[in-house]
Amino acid sequence: MNDHWLSALLLPPGLNLVLVLAAWIVWKSQRRMGRFLLVLSATSLYVFSTPSIESTLRSMQAEIPPLTLKEIRQLKVTEAESALTTIVVVGAGRKNKAEEYEFTDTVNNQTLEYLRYAAFLSQSTGLPLIAAASPANDGTTPEQVLMNKVLTDEFQVPVTQLFSFEELTQFLQTQNLEEQTFILVAKVEHCEALSKLPSSPSLSIRCSFPKPQIAPAKWPYLPNAQSLLNNTRLLQQWIGL
């Protein structure tokens, strides 16, 4: 079972459907258990649809303060050579056979957000850009190739190198240039994993990513679709799917 199906079953609202199906299966033989599963399904769907739990989940994430554009510009100025600082954007998913693009593969909304921000940073600073993503195991076009197409065709930003995530990991571990810095535009868990890589003392891995949209807290216990989407993404990052 791939990560897509696993996350669909383990995270809301798919998780809630699984609980309802489980309740239906055991209803005749264990009615009390069936009622419990139905209540659990309804309660968890409500909880994960509220802005209040979104704030809690965000506070549980690893605290990795992202670099601002001003800090990146200052970093470029203080480097002996600007070529030693590179922006690395890591993909967050894809859309296969997107109907709106004549059934061609493209990046998903979260990856598009990262690409837009990475392109903005590269255009604003003149720093080179690398694209990386998880490998495609089903024979489809690699996600980093799709990312390159969006960056070059839609944002007019050249990409210097393309890597799978595993290739990027190996690449970063073999860099021995003096005072080299890589600025990651990626999910929090990717930033955390790559920042902990054993590497040369002269290598610095920093993070910069767009701030997520926070659901309005005027009615923190009123469920809404945006909070359900945000909470599902936060849970997905938290469990590493």
Kindly report the backbone phi and psi dihedral angles of residue 44, in degrees, each rounded to the nearest multiple of 5, phi listed first.
Answer: -65, -35
The boundaries of the domain holding residue 52 are: 3-61+222-239
Question: According to the model, what pLDDT value does residue 33 have?
Answer: 96
CA distance between the termini of the chain:
12
Tokens 């921000």 locate to: 117
pLDDT (tens digit, 9 = 90+) per residue, 115-140?
999 999 999 999 999 999 988 777 78
Question: According to the model, what pLDDT value does residue 198 have?
Answer: 73
Q: Closest Cα to residue 135, out of 170, 85, 184?
A: 170
b/e map of 67-85 (b: 16 or more CB within 10 Å)?
Answer: beeeebbebbeeeeeeebb
Are 151 and 129 in contact, with CB atoms under 8 Å apart? yes
CATH number at residue 158: 3.40.50
Q: What 3-state DSSP class applies to 3?
A: helix
Q: What is the crossing angle of helices 14-26 and 31-47, to 10°? A: 170
Residue 143 in any domain: the answer is yes
What is the chain's mean pLDDT, rounded?
85
Question: According to the model, what pLDDT value does residue 142 have?
Answer: 94
Helix (H) or strand (E) holding 85: strand 85-90
Question: According to the model, what pLDDT value does residue 82 have?
Answer: 47
Same domain, 79 and 51: no
Question: According to the model, what pLDDT value does residue 49 have?
Answer: 92
Sheet of strand 129-133, all strands in order from the earlier edge strand to the far edge: 161-164, 129-133, 85-90, 180-185, 203-207
- Within a 10 A sphere around the Cβ of 57, how many other Cβ atoms? 16
Question: According to the model, what pLDDT value does residue 235 have?
Answer: 84
Tens digits of pLDDT across the chain (241 residues): 556 677 788 889 999 999 999 999 999 999 999 999 999 999 999 999 998 887 777 766 655 678 888 888 887 666 554 457 899 999 998 999 999 989 999 999 989 999 999 999 999 999 999 999 988 777 789 999 999 999 999 999 999 999 999 999 999 888 766 678 899 999 877 887 888 887 666 678 888 877 766 545 677 888 888 888 888 887 877 766 6
Same domain, 82 and 42: no
Domain count of the fold of the chain: 2
Are 191 and 64 in contact, with CB atoms under 8 Å apart? yes
Q: What is the crossing angle of helices 69-78 and 109-125, to 10°? A: 40
Same domain, 146 and 231: no
Same domain, 47 and 100: no
Same domain, 23 and 98: no
Q: What 3-state DSSP class applies to 182?
A: strand
